[in-house]
Amino acid sequence: MIGAGLQALVSHWRRHPLQLAMLLLGLAVATALWTGVQAINAEARAAYDRAASVLGQDRLDRLVASDGTLTVADFVALRRVGWPVSPVLEGRIARDLQVIGVEPLTLPRGAAMPGLPGLGADTLPAFLAGTLVLAAPETLARPEVATALAGLATTPSPDLPPMTLVADIALAERLLNTPGQITALILDPDRTLPGPVPKGFALKPATRDAGLARLTESFHLNLTAFGFLAFAVGIFITHAAIGMAFEQRRPMIRTLRALGMSVGMLCGLVLAEMLVLALIAGVIGVALGYGVAAALLPDVAATLGGLYDAPVPGQLTLRASWVLAGVGMALAGTLIAAGQGLVQVWRMPPLASARPRAWAMAGAGAAKAQALAGLGLLAMAGLALGFGAGLPAGFAVLAGLLLGTALVLPWLLGLTLALAVRRSKGVMAQWFWADTRQQLPGLSLALMALLLALAANTGVGTMVGSFRATFTGWLDQRLASELYVYAETPAEAAAITDWLRPRVDAILPITLAQSPLAGQPGEVYGIVDHATYRDNWPLLQSSPAVWDEVAKGKGVLINEQLSRRADLGLGSVLNLPGGALPVVGVFSDYGNPLPQAIVGMASFQARFPQAEALRFALRLPPAKVADISTALRAEFALAEGALVDQAAVKAFSLQVFERTFAVTGALNALTLGVAGLAMLANLLTLSALRLPQLAPVWAMGLTQTRLAALDFARTLVLALLTAVVALPLGLALAWVLLAVVNVEAFGWRLPMQVFPGDAVRQFAMAAVAGGVAGLWPALQLMRRRPADLLRVFANER
Amino acid sequence: MLNLTEVRKSYPTAEGRVEVLGGVSLSLVAGESLALTGESGSGKSTVLHLIAGLDAVDGGEIVVAGQALSGLGDAGRAALRRDRIGLVFQQFNLIPSLDVAANLSFQARLAGRHDRDWTAQLAEALGLAPLLARYPEQLSGGQQQRVAIGRALAPRPALILADEPTGNLDEGSSDAVMALMLALVTKAGASLLMVTHSERLAARLDRRLQLRSGRIQP
Q: C-alpha angle A316/A318/A319, rounded to 5°? A: 115
**Cβ–Cβ under 8 Å, residues A155 and A29:** no
A693 and B96 in contact by Cβ < 8 A?
yes
Say what the pLDDT of residue B50 is. Answer: 92
**Cβ–Cβ under 8 Å, residues A161 and A136:** yes
pLDDT at B34 over 80: yes
Range of the domain at B212: 2-216
Q: C-alpha angle A647/A312/A33, rounded to 5°? A: 105
Q: What is the mean pLDDT of residues B133-155?
A: 88
Q: What is the mean pLDDT of residues B142-159?
A: 90
Between the CA of residue A769 and those of A24, A216, A461, A495, A717, what are the distances in Å?
Answer: 21, 34, 18, 64, 11
Q: Which SS3 state, helix, strand or coil, does residue B168 take?
A: coil
A427 and B79 in contact by Cβ < 8 A?
no
Provide the whole-model pTM: 0.69
Nearest to B163 among A426, A789, A793 (CB): A793
Q: Which SS3 state, helix, strand or coil, does residue A99 take?
A: strand
Q: Find, among A325, A335, A336, A333, the residue nearest to A290 by Cα.
A: A325
Nearest-Cα distance to chain B for A446, in Å, is 21
B79 and A704 in contact by Cβ < 8 A?
no
For B83, other C-beta atoms within 10 Å of its C-beta total: 17
Burial letters for A509-538: b for 16+ Cβ neighbours within 10 Å, e otherwise? bbbbbbbebbeebbbbbbbbebebbeeebb
Nearest to B87 among A430, A700, A705 (CB): A700
A795 and B78 in contact by Cβ < 8 A?
no
The C-alpha atoms of residue A41 and residue A319 are separated, in whole angstroms, by 11
Q: Does A356 touch chain B (CB under 8 A)?
A: no
Sort out which chain B residues have CB atoms less than 8 A from A790's CB and list them: 49, 54-55
Q: Which SS3 state, helix, strand or coil, does residue A66 take?
A: coil
Say what the pLDDT of residue A67 is. Answer: 61
Say what the pLDDT of residue A351 is. Answer: 52
In degrees and rounded to multiples of 5, residue A101 shows phi and psi of -100, 130
The C-alpha atoms of residue A673 and residue A288 are separated, in whole angstroms, by 15
Cα-trace Rg, chain B? 17
The C-alpha atoms of residue B9 and residue B18 are separated, in whole angstroms, by 9
**Cβ–Cβ under 8 Å, residues A98 and A183:** no
The C-alpha atoms of residue A245 and residue A253 are separated, in whole angstroms, by 11
Q: Does A699 touch chain B (CB under 8 A)?
A: yes
For A372, other C-beta atoms within 10 Å of its C-beta total: 13
Say what the pLDDT of residue B6 is. Answer: 93
Q: For an interface test with B, give the residue of A357, A443, A689, A700 to mutate (most B CBs within 10 A).
A: A700
Nearest-Cα distance to chain B for A368, in Å, is 19
Sort out which chain B residues have CB atoms less than 8 A from A794's CB and list them: 45
pLDDT at B43 over 50: yes
Nearest-Cα distance to chain B for A410, in Å, is 16
Say what the pLDDT of residue A55 is. Answer: 47
Task: Determine the residue type at A287.
Answer: A
The C-alpha atoms of residue A745 and residue A216 are separated, in whole angstroms, by 10
**Cβ–Cβ under 8 Å, residues A183 and A85:** no
Q: Which SS3 state, helix, strand or coil, does residue A537 take?
A: coil
Nearest-Cα distance to chain B for A300, in Å, is 50
Residues in chain A predicted with pLDDT less than 70, given as ranges, are 1, 47-59, 66-69, 94-96, 109-121, 204-222, 255, 258-260, 303-315, 348-365, 591, 593, 639-641, 656-657, 659-661, 685, 795-797
**Cβ–Cβ under 8 Å, residues A708 and A778:** yes
β-sheet bridge partners, residue A165: A99, A135
Give residue limits of the domains in chain A. 1-53+217-357, 60-205, 483-620
| Per-residue model confidence as pLDDT tens digits over B78-99 | 888 888 999 888 888 888 778 8
pLDDT at B160 over 60: yes
B163 and A792 in contact by Cβ < 8 A?
no
Q: C-alpha angle A455/A456/A462, rounded to 5°? A: 90
| CA A373 from centre of chain | 30
Q: Does A318 touch chain B (CB under 8 A)?
A: no
For B13, other C-beta atoms within 10 Å of its C-beta total: 8
| Per-residue model confidence as pLDDT tens digits over A221-245 | 667 777 777 777 777 777 777 877 7
Interface A-B, measured as beta-carbon pairs within 8 A, has a size of 93
What is the SS3 assignment for A481-535? CCEEEECCCHHHHHHHHHHHCCCCCEEEEEEEEEEEECCEEEEEEEECCCHHHHH
With a CB-CB cutoff of 8 Å, which residues 32-61 of chain B face chain A? 40, 45, 49, 52, 54-56
Q: If you write DSSP's letter for every residue of A697-738 in order, what string do you get?
A: HHHTT--HHHHHHHHHHHHHHHHHHHHHHHHHHHHHHHHHII
The C-alpha atoms of residue A777 and residue A772 are separated, in whole angstroms, by 10
More confident residue, B209 or A69: B209
Count of domains for chain B = 1
Cα-trace Rg, chain A? 33
Q: Does A420 touch chain B (CB under 8 A)?
A: no
Sort out which chain A residues have CB atoms less than 8 A from B111's CB and list them: 701
Say what the pLDDT of residue A185 is. Answer: 83
Strand ranges, E, within A85-152: 85-93, 97-102, 132-135
Between the CA of residue A793 and those of A719, A790, B37, B100, B211, what are the distances in Å?
Answer: 32, 5, 18, 20, 19
Q: Find, among A364, A369, A456, A374, the residue nearest to A418 by Cα.
A: A364
Q: Which SS3 state, helix, strand or coil, does residue A88 take?
A: strand
